[in-house]
Structures are given as C-alpha cells and as structure tokens.
Amino acid sequence: MTFLLLLEWFGFGSTVAGIIGSFCVGALSDTRRFQRSVEIFMIASLIGCILSIIWFELCVHTTFFEKPILSSTPISIGLSTALAGFFQGASTPLIYEALAETMFPLPEAISALAINQWNNVSSLVLLFVAPHQDKLMNLLVLIVVGACILMVCVSLVLYERRDENQRKLFGKQQEVLNDDDNSSTCVDTAIHHRNLKLRLM
C-alpha cells in the first residue's frame, strides 16, 4: 500500500469518525438531562481532540523532535487521526449551538455565517502553509485547538435562546389545551341542550 493511498484512508477515516462524533454528541447534548451542559461537552470534546493530536504528533516528526517518539505505524496514525476527527466532529454542533446562544437575539444564520467564513479563511491559510511546512502545520493545529479550549473555558453560555424557545413552545401547548377545553365545553353544552329538548318532548 503506497503512502498516498494511506493518507487517503487516514483522511477518509477521520471524516467518517467526525460524522459519527457529530451525530452522537449532538443527539446526546439535546436530551433533557444535558440541555444546559454545552460548555462541558465542548471542553471534553476539545480535550479529547488535543490529546489525540498529541498522540499523532508523537508518532511523526515534528518541530521539536526529528524522530518519532512513539511507534509510527499505520494503525497508530490511523487511530490517532480517527480519534482526532471524532472529537473534532463532536465539538462542531456544540460550537454552533453555543455561538447561537451567545449571539441571541440575533438570527442563528448570522452566527452560522460567522463560523463558516472563519473556517473558510483559516482553511485557505492552512492550505498555503501545508505544502511547505508540514512540521509547522502540525504545531499550528495543536495551538489552535489549545486556544479553542481556553476560549471555551472563559466563555459563558446563558441559554436565553433555549429559554425563549421553551416559553414559545409552552405558550403554544397552552393554546392547544385551551382550544380543547373550549371544544369540550361546546360539546357538553350542545349535549345538555339536546337532553333538555328530549325531556320537554
């Protein structure tokens, strides 16, 4: 198996793991028990991501070490990149959710646009850096994830958007219940009038 083919499989595995992580953690954080634990999930996901990246860094040559410290095999590199992809994917829906909460009452489209544009800009920068500085690229990824952990630790999510959505949902449920009560009252009244007519007859 050639080196380029291995790289393709590493990228494929990381992408699939990211999709799985995004689905699993996103669904878990939406459950009633963890609805207000977005920050905790983000920090846990990013810590898992940075630990996986450190494992990968120790398996390849870096800015600090010319030779790998740990065993550099396709299995170790594949597992480390897959885990990094899993945890990075797990943090993605949480970051979108947290930014939407932070920017409330602004529309969610603005927060999503901000993240997407930042991703595009950073991807362009890394694309220009990667072909010439592979060691620096690994270090930059490590620094960026570390900076993300620090920013999440000092941020505060107030969940005002979630509270507002729950208030609206509760209001709609109350309206439905009131409509049902009114319908039941009308039916009971009609039945009562019919019974009276039957008695009079």
The predicted pLDDT at position 176 comes to 66
The predicted pLDDT at position 159 comes to 75
User: What is the widest separation between alpha-carbon atoms in the chain?
Assistant: 105
Question: Which of 86, 82, 66 lies closest to 25, judged by CA?
Answer: 86
Question: Which of 111, 87, 95 lies closest to 155, judged by CA?
Answer: 95
pLDDT in tens, 106-133: 777 887 888 888 888 887 877 777 666 6
> Model's pTM, two decimal places?
0.72
104 to 56, 157, 160: CA distances (angstroms): 38, 10, 7
Sign of the torsion angle spanned by Cα atoms 88, 93, 94, 98: positive
The answer on pLDDT for 86 being more than 90 is yes
The predicted pLDDT at position 47 comes to 92
pLDDT in tens, 157-167: 777 777 777 77
The answer on pLDDT for 175 being more than 90 is no
* Cβ(61)–Cβ(67) below 8 Å: yes
* Cβ(94)–Cβ(29) below 8 Å: yes
The answer on pLDDT for 184 being more than 80 is no
* Cβ(39)–Cβ(152) below 8 Å: yes
Which residue has tokens 């489209």? 109
Give dist(CA 11, CA 99) in Å, integer: 28
Which are the contacts of 45, defined by CB distance < 8 A and separation ≥ 6? 21, 25, 87, 88, 90, 91, 94
* Extents of the domains making up the chain: 3-158, 159-201
